[in-house]
Amino acid sequence: MSQTVLELEKLTIALPPGADRANAVSDVDLVLRAGKVTCLIGESGSGKSLVARSILGLLPRPHVRVGSGRILFEGQDLAVAPQDKMRAIRGAKIGMIFQEPMTALNPLHTIGRQLDEVLRIHTPLGKAARRARVLELIDSVHLPEPGRIIRSFPHQLSGGQRQRAMIAMALLLNPRLLIADEPTTALDVTTQAQILYLIRELQREHGTSVLFITHDFGVVADIADEVAVLQRGNLVERGTAGAVLGAPSHPYTKALIAAVPKLGPPAARPANTQPFIVEARDITKTYGTRGLFGGRVTRALAGVTMELRRGETLGLVGESGSGKSTMARAITRLLPIDGGEILLGGADIAKLSRRQLRPVRKRVQMVFQDPYASLDPRQRIIDIIAEGPIIHGTLPAKAREEAQALLGLVGLDASAAQRFPHEFSGGQRQRIGIARALALHPEVLVADEPVSALDVSVQAQVLALLADIKARLHLSMLFVTHDLRVALQVCDRIAVMKQGEVVEMAPTAEIFFNPQHSYTKALFAAVPGGTWQDRKAS
Amino acid sequence: MWAGFARFARNRMALFGAAVLLCLLLLVVFTPVIYPDDPFKLVGPALQPPGGRFLLGTDTLGRDVAAEIAYGARTSLIIGVGATLAAIVFGAVAGGVAGYYRGRTETVLMRITEFFQTIPAFIFALLIVAILSPSVSSEIIAIAAVSWPSIARLVRGEFVSLGGREFVQACAGLGASDARIIFNHMLPNCASSIIAVGSLLIGTAILLEAGLAFLGLGDPNVMSWGLIISAGRAVLRSAWWICTFPGIAILLTVLGINLIGDGLNEALNPRLRER
Amino acid sequence: MRFARYMGYRLVTALPVIFGIIVLNFLLIHLAPGDAASVLAGESGAATPEYMDALRHKFGLDQSLGMQFVTYVSNMAHFNLGYSYRNDADVSSLILERLGPTSLLMLTAFGTAVALGIILGLVAATGRNSWRDNIISLISLVAYATPGFWLGLMMIVIFSIGLGWLPTSGFDTVGAGHEGWAEVWDVGRHLVMPAVSLALFYLALYARLMRASVLEQTGMDYVTTARAKGQTERRIMTGHVLRNALLPIVTIAGVQAGNLIGGSIVVETVFGWPGIGTLAFNALQSRDLNLLLAIFFMSACLIVIINLAVDVIYVMLDPRMEI
Amino acid sequence: MVDEPPLNKLSRRTALALPLGLAASSSTIFSGFAKADAPVRGGTMVMIVQPEPSTLAHYAVTAGNIPPIATQIYEGLVTYDWDQNPQPNLATSWEIAPDGKSITFKLREGVVFHNGKPFTSADVQFSFMEILKKFHPFAPLLLAELVGVDTPDEKTAVLLLANPAPYLMKALAGRDLPIMCKSVFEGTQILQNPSANKPIGTGPFKFGQWDRGQFVRLDRNDKYWKPGLPYLDHIIARFIPDAATRSAALETGEAHFAGYSAVNYADLARMKTNPLLDTTMKGYEMTPALSVLELNAKHPPLDKKEVRQAIAYAIDRKVILRDVMYGYGKPATGPLSSLFKTVGFYTDDVRKYDVPDRLDIANKLLDGAGLPRGANGMRFGMHLEVNSFGEQWLRQAEYLKQALAIVGIDLTLRSEDTATWLRRVYTDYDYDINEPFLSQGVDPVYGLNKQYLTSQIRKGVTFVNDSFYANPEFDGILNEAMREPDHDKRAVLYKKAQQILAEDCPLVWLIDVQYVSVFNRKLHDHTTGPLGTQQAFERAWLET
């Protein structure tokens, strides 16, 4: 067993009064060994991020603080270490990278200067020596043209590049421990795969111990040596990656693993020969930024053609910037398109005026991604659901009656009607969003990443609800997602999109068994954890 | 909403502001009872120092300064609140339309807003009062004319950010009309910042009114704090109390309103809350 | 090169704006009843119609509004701001005379207010909810709520009459004929009170703005990153937060700079300070429209220039903004 | 150009008020200081003028704030002693023809204008015929009869009159009819002449510098025709917009003199107690003025005499005197100021409105006029235009509203700035009651003719008969008195005129205004004649 780098002993982090529970985490025992990647996994609100931050004493004082327990590192208890001692450790002996690369770097300083700052704080090195070291690190994280990177500002780099810069910054002084707080959650699948590979590679080179915080079992399967599972602040299971993933002992872990859709062959589906309900032909959409000197023109949709049969679920899969969300909003006429036709039941709705469009709107309804932004915070639930019918002329009293019934349909109890959105969890809010869409009895449901923002257990319930409703109400569905696992489970046919074009479209089984386009193959390869569910405990 | 009210109550300064405003409102309501006759009435010898028969002394014509301040409170509040409401309505409509429809309408409306800000605010107010000749209504119009641009810019900013929010797109998806989206969804959601800025605006409006009256452009038939100060200004040296007490009244009122404004802002916009 | 082209572009687009301002101001001002001739006649206690007509002819007021506008615009085209009949002087010389004292008052009052406001805001924000924060907030609120002219009057009573430390009014001791440093000291003593009563209002405003801005920045992720690098709190504040927090202050200062001229009328009247504010007020009272229009024109140009300066400063401060 | 004396030659002490301890220590200095009688040469006198004049050309604009500066530069043919009798000035002697149709003036030798040009009869001719006759606002009254000026020789000027003009002899001072230098104006547009703001005259002081909004500086005329005068090196007229600040300037010694009620009446009581300062009411005998109420006879019920009289009865002039004017002045009894008593034109043998039972009379008159009290106790409503030329008029308006309310007249005040006020009252006649401030000049001709003659109802002209008073019998009396050379006969006519007016009551006469000057005790011999601040300060001097 390699040498212990850091040990958490009965760590308890207290929350301020008025929070949903007394302690964020209680009695957490965890050992981080040199050269090993320890994954701490848990759903949102489990307290995993606070554990990471407590090690470096970055808890938002005075509200959240270490209640009891010890954080042993090189013979010291960091929980009670004085500020100056902590500062000597931070950035030098323990490095940390964060989840949001877009905001984690100071927008007004160049990348070079922010890296150089670490050396200025902790080392007596001269300007030239520091510059050399920084260039060396930038190169080690495979960033192109280190000379240019040093002079460029954060907003001039992509999300992935910025995360690489953060990693370089954390590893500048060869720390013994690297804490990574969900570093790839905000990134695309392909970029995520590269970053995970980079961390693994650097970790092996320098024998650093890594504490990796995540909520995605796929990532655990890819990178973890050890795993610890956190449920609402309690460490419920610990062990090697293979053991925990292959043969979980604690029921909570079992449930979590079961909820993750398999990257496996989709269930057989009868061929759908229904007529097309929605046909999109050669849709084009460009965003022009009119800078003073001829700004950049980005082509969101470059001639997309696709069809949706009645009762079918068509998946739109692609990374951010592929145009899948734009396509969804184009079809529901939420945003104007530059060219092409949208046929709904044979009639083109692309050119309709606002007034002509009103009756058509009832037939196509949308479910949104962000549970916290898709409901009007100032409206009661009953009014949110009933608003659609009221707009289209149903008497308010009758509309509310129907809305009340819909609550049952989406699995919410009647008392929810009079409450406000902020009193519900993410999952419950998505159910309300679905009820709102169903209130108008649409023929087509367009779901734009409906479950991406949810925890994996809640994700499963919402997907089940969608499948059940689609079947019962004979709906056709356009399902937009970046997660291939979800797509394989839900969709009948899949269209893979890249930079505004459909690179491949085929029934789900065909896409899984023999993907044609290289990009589709790359997508499959980049799915974290790959087909780990099939691999037996190793 | 109750969470907002609790936060407001915990904020000591906001409570002090509320207390000041409460006294003011009580004063305004009970003024006809405490001082039944017209504040302009000559009730005693001129230039009486405070204390004795007249709590705050008498002014140059022998009128009770306390009665004047009581009736002045009503005017200052009417002008302050009236001008602010007018500015909010006008600014919200202009800012809302610009923020919602964007494109050319936005540039045109924003150009107009900027034009109003190129003329120094106080001179512009003077010009309007000179054109309409001094009266309470012309003061309200003048103050509103110089205050609405700040509301317009605020509401435009809020509408632009709300416009992108998914619940607004959801309503559009339901087939809601522009008016329904603006009035049922967008305005209620920026109401909190409008209230906060609006309350600060009341303070500035009262200061502007005092300034106008100080330069002799107030309504002569209506008792206002600015009028008392401008009357007392000439005899400042021999009768200091005529200027001092209304000045303090203005200070307390504007202070109270600002404290409430701050309290409302923190209570309604949680993201500024304790970090 | 791009910079010069950008500046050129901005100035060119500013011309129609300024022209629009002139036209609208011209129409607006002519709405005010009465004219310069009647005011002059009124002040002289009596005047025959012939005398009034002679005056109106001299002032060019007898021409139609359209004609007056044409002459006005053609004058502007030749950079001739017109003639102030009331003061029998060239408008431009009148304004230039007053520009010195006004800019002196503005720069000292607004300069100290913004500088001090930023420092106080920073101190208040760093000591969030400590006694420091509450005291600064309360003081700045009281200052914000105090009517400037009332404060001016009180200061005269206390400091010049009561204690005799400072002169009551005016730009300098008239007729004393100081030269060099003595003049600077003399003007300085006259400047103290007007600058303080004008500055207090803006000081309060910027202290509050800065406090809110610093608080917002301290919550940002890059501050946590800096802490994770082992940076000290003080250097985080100076190195990272301060510059980010200043960005909104720059824009607001730009917008407000234009209003400075108007805001000082009351203070200038109380202290007899020969500034543009009182010049505009008297011009309005005596319907000296050429002078008033010139002041509006000058303030419009000032605002356009200030906005341009603010944008340039903003671009220098924030790399995310390109021209 | 006029050579400018180097300023730094000035002795600093007199000019610069010592900031610290001046007020405190001054009392000790003065008590033990023997009154110096011999005038001291040099020093700079700082006087306060309010408001800042728009121009210094007082041959074309007769606002009251111009003469205190202009009369130091321009001089008249004569000046006046305390009994208001003409005394030699630029004219050494004069003779009125028996038929009163010409006045011959012998001019003084050796007088030189500031630009070095000698003073001759040509200057007198040009001044009267080319400047004053054409552009002086009072010319239609004062110079109506002037038809020409003969200049038999350089030192003799003869004013030729169509009819006798007894009042003319009272109006020849520098304040009313100044003498300008012909060479400066000849061949130029009079109203556009640059000397309007850089005057050139024969007076004791030359024009120095005018900093708009701050001060005008006048410098000593070394070649002044009165030997050894003036004593002062400089006179500075300072402009301070704020009344309280003006008083403070006097109290801190920054200013030495403030005439023409530049200091607010309310502060005068306190000023008197200040050992540094003193006040005087002398020097205003030739600037009588009345504060009045003009009633618009075209707006019923003001067309009824009883209603106008009732308003006159309803007002307690003693209250206005006490609370608005702080005791300075006298209640007015009729259309002429009591200052005309010295010249025998004033009479108080007219209808008295200041009687104990005035309120009963007023109510009876209003009931008689068919104006019963309504439910709220009010008979009818009226607008009062608030005079915009100063602070105290709003106070007066507020008092009038209370006073008229007692007899059931509901007064609404309307205030606007000067331009709007003048247009509304004198051009549009869109007013019920106006509260102007009428200066009465040096002769009843000036005060009565323009205010009450039917011929003086002239639309668009300010401060003339805007109350539409038209009484043929009264017009006859005034026109006769205007040309009557015999003083006693004029007195009888004017007494009759005052009795008619008091009865018809076209205006309500409130206060016979008394101006006050406040001065620093170190300043001596500043008020040397009935024109006071509106004549030269050639004999004024400052203790060092």
Which pLDDT score, from 0 to 100, does residue B131 have? 84
Helix (H) / strand (E) containing B111: helix B103-118
Judge contact between A112 and A130, C-beta under 8 A. Answer: no
- What percentage of chain A has pLDDT greater than the value 70? 98
Length of chain A in residues, anyone?
A: 538
Give the helix/strand (H/E) hosting A279. strand A276-288
For residue C128, give both structure tokens.
């969030």
Three-state SS annotation for D3-14: CCCCHHHCCHHH
D chain contacts of residue B232, beta-carbon cutoff 8 Å: none
Q: Which residues contact A395 (CB under 8 A, 6 or more apart)?
A: none
Exposure b/e, D127-140, CB count within 10 A at least 16 = b: bbbbbbbbbbbbbb
Extract the tokens encoding B107.
């540039």
Residue A2 has pLDDT above 80, yes or no: no
D243 closest CB neighbour out of B46, B47, B234: B234
Q: A388: closest CA among B166, B176, B165, B164?
A: B176
Measured CA angle at A189 (ends A185, A194), to 5 deg: 90
A333-371: string of b/e by CB count within 10 Å (b at 16+)?
A: bbeebeebebbbeeeebbebeeeeebebbbbbbbbbbbb
**What is the CA angle C264-C159-D215, rounded to 5?**
55
pLDDT of residue D2: 33
Nearest to D243 among B130, B219, B233 (CB): B233
Cis status of the peptide bond prior to C33, with omega within 30 of 0: no
pLDDT exceeds cutoff 60 at D162: yes
Report the C-alpha gap between D395 and D326 in whole angstroms.
Answer: 12
pLDDT at D182: 92
The neighbouring-strand residues paired with A140 are none
Nearest residue in C to B210, CA atom: C147
In the predicted structure, residue D29 carries a pLDDT above the cut 70: no
Percent of chain A with pLDDT over 90: 28
DSSP D254-317: S-SEE-TT-S-HHHHHHHHH-TTEEEE-TT-TT--EEEEEEE-TTSTTTTSHHHHHHHHHH--H
Confidence grade of residue D18 (pLDDT, cut at 50, 70, 90): very low
**pLDDT value at position C175?**
61
B41 chain-D contacts, CB cut-off 8 A? 402
Which amino acid, residue D165? A
User: In this complex, which chains have at least 3 CB pairs below 8 Å with chain B?
Assistant: A, C, D
Give the residue extent of every domain in chain B. Answer: 2-30+65-273
Q: Answer whether residue B234 shows pLDDT above 90.
A: no
Q: What is the Cβ-side half-sphere exposure of residue D176, based on CA atoms within 13 angstroms? A: 25
What pLDDT does D15 receive?
41
User: Would you say residue D30 has pLDDT above 50?
Assistant: no
pLDDT tens track for A154-212: 988 888 899 999 999 998 888 999 999 999 888 888 888 889 999 998 888 888 999 99
Question: What digits encode the pLDDT tens for the residues B84-104?
Answer: 999 999 999 999 999 888 888
**Among candidate residues A327, A428, A373, A418, the one with its CA nearest the CA of residue B168:** A373
Mean pLDDT of C34-57: 71
Residue C315: C-alpha distances to residues A294, C311, C320, D10, D483 (Å): 19, 6, 8, 54, 82
pLDDT in tens, A353-393: 888 888 888 899 999 988 888 888 888 899 999 998 998 88
Residues of C in contact with D214 (CB under 8 A): 170-171, 174, 274
Query: C274–D464: do the CB atoms touch at under 8 Å?
Result: no
Q: Please write the tens of the pLDDT for every residue from D387-401.
A: 877 778 888 999 999
B216 touches D: beta carbon within 8 Å? yes
Q: Nearest CB to B118: which of C33, C265, C303? A: C303
Cα–Cα distance between D428 and D430 in angstroms, integer? Answer: 5
Per-residue model confidence as pLDDT tens digits over C189-209: 889 999 998 888 888 889 988
Whole-number pLDDT of residue C263: 65
- Mean pLDDT, rounded, for A9-36: 88
pLDDT above 60 (res B231): yes
Give the pLDDT of residue C37.
76
Please give the torsion angle defined by the CA atoms of residues C148, C153, C158 and C159, in that order, rounded to the nearest 10 degrees: 80
Q: Is A441 on the interface with C (CB under 8 A)?
A: no
Q: Which of A499-503, C43-47, C59-63, D313-317 shows the lowest per-residue confidence on average (mean pLDDT)? A: C43-47
Write out pLDDT tens, residues C139-149.
888 888 888 88
Determine the Cα–Cα distance for residues C293 and C72; give it in Å rounded to an integer. 10
Beta strand extents in A107-255 (DSSP E only): 177-181, 209-214, 226-231, 234-240
Residues C264 and B90: their CA atoms lie apart, in Å, by 27
Beta-bridge partners for A309: A276
The tokens describing D391, both together, are 């602070």
Task: Report d(CA A445, CA A442) in Å as an integer.
Answer: 7
3-class secondary structure, A481: strand
**Which whole-number Å values give the CA distances from B22 to B252, B255, D73, in the listed order?**
12, 13, 63
Q: What is chain A's mean pLDDT, rounded? A: 88
Residue pLDDT, tens place only, B42-87: 888 888 888 888 888 888 888 888 889 999 998 889 999 999 999 9
pLDDT tens string B248-264? 999 999 888 888 888 87
Structure tokens at B264: 């409302």
Interchain CB distance below 8 Å, D247 and B237: yes
Q: How confident is the model at residue D8 (pLDDT cuts 50, 70, 90)?
A: very low
Residues of A in Cβ contact (< 8 Å) with C244: 106-108
pLDDT band at A414 (very low <50, low <70, confident <90, very high): confident
With contacts defined as CB-CB under 8 Å, which chain C residues touch B114?
17
Residue D74 clears pLDDT 90, i.e. is over it: yes
Q: What is the pTM of this model?
A: 0.82
> What ipTM was assigned to the predicted interfaces of this complex?
0.80
Query: What per-residue confidence (pLDDT) applies to A480?
Result: 93
Tens digit of each residue's pLDDT (9 = 90 or more) over A108-164: 899 999 999 999 989 998 999 999 999 999 998 888 888 899 999 998 888 889 999
Mean pLDDT of chain D: 85
pLDDT given at position D4: 33
Res. C323: pLDDT tops 80: no
What mean pLDDT is predicted for residues A216-238? 90
Q: Does the domain spanning B2-30+65-273 belong to CATH 1.10.3720.10?
A: yes
Name every chain D residue with its beta carbon within 8 A of the beta carbon of B131: none
Which residue of A lies nearest to B176 if distances are taken between CA atoms?
A: A391
Cα(C51)–Cα(D135) distance, integer angstroms: 7
pLDDT of residue A456: 85
Q: Any idea what DSSP says for residue D81?
A: -
Which pLDDT belongs to residue D21? 41
Give the C window 205-234 contacts with B, CB below 8 Å: 212, 215-216, 218-219
Q: Which one is predicted more confidently, D290 or D447?
A: D290
Q: Which of A368, A377, A378 sits opposite B166 (nearest CB)?
A: A368
Q: Cis bond leading into D275, ω under 30°?
A: no
Number of Cα atoms under 13 Å in the Cβ half of residue D160? 8
* pLDDT greater than 60 at residue D24: no
Mark whether C and D touch (3+ CB pairs within 8 Å): yes
State the DSSP H helix or E strand holding residue B171, giving kind and residue range, or none if neither. Answer: helix B166-174
Say how far apart CA B86 and CA B98 lie, in whole Å. 18
Q: Looking at residue D271, what is its pLDDT? A: 85
Which residue from B215, B229, B255 is facing C269, i.e. has the nearest CB?
A: B215
Using CB atoms within 10 A of its CB, is residue A525 exposed (0-12), middle (13-18) or buried (19+)?
A: exposed
**Residue D62: CA atoms inside 13 Å, Cβ hemisphere, count?**
23
The model's pLDDT over D234-285, given as tens digits with 9 standing for 90+, comes to 999 998 877 777 888 888 888 999 988 788 887 888 888 889 899 998 888 8
pLDDT at D122: 92
The 10s digit of each residue's pLDDT in A516-532 is 899 999 888 888 877 77
Strands A226-231 and A209-214: unpaired
Of D179 and C44, more confident: D179
pLDDT over 70 at A64, yes or no = yes
Task: Tally Cβ neighbours within 10 Å of residue A220.
Answer: 24
Give the model confidence (pLDDT) of C263-287 as tens digits. 688 888 888 888 888 888 888 888 8
